[in-house]
Amino acid sequence: MRTNILLLLFFLWGSLFSIESLGQEIDNYILSIDKRDMEAANLHVNCTFIADFQTTDTICMNFGGDEEFSIENLAVQGKCPLKYDYLKKDKRIIFYCPSQTRTAIQMD
């Protein structure tokens, strides 16, 4: 049976979102994990954080995890003209924000 996890447990936040450049900054994060009304191998994870685009217009994050884990139904919301690419095969998300600002991002 294939294990589908709705947004991984994020393997202890630090290892999950490894920032690729020391100039990238993410802070004030809140991680909520909910198992209610989910199938046996599924979790619902909501993550909110502040991304600092003052020194860069791109922030990359790696989700990590084994091949058997997957992310389904990813929804991303943010301010500024935020765009993102979710590279499912690489388990990576890249955020783009052309304005030099700090912005709240929510992944659900």
Q: How do residues 44-80 score in pLDDT, each as one tens digit?
A: 889 899 988 888 888 888 887 777 777 888 889 888 8
pLDDT at 19 over 80: no
Which residues 6+ apart lie within 8 Å of 25 measured at CB? 19, 51, 52, 55
Q: Which amino acid is at 23?
A: G
Between CA 19 and CA 14 the distance in angstroms is 9
Which residues 6+ apart lie within 8 Å of 66 measured at CB? none
Query: And the tokens for 70?
Result: 């997957």
pLDDT at 96 over 70: yes
CB–CB of 26/54 below 8 Å? no
According to DSSP, residue 87 is labeled E
- pTM (2 d.p.): 0.70
By the 10 Å C-beta count (0-12 exposed, 13-18 middle, 19+ buried), 104 is classed as middle
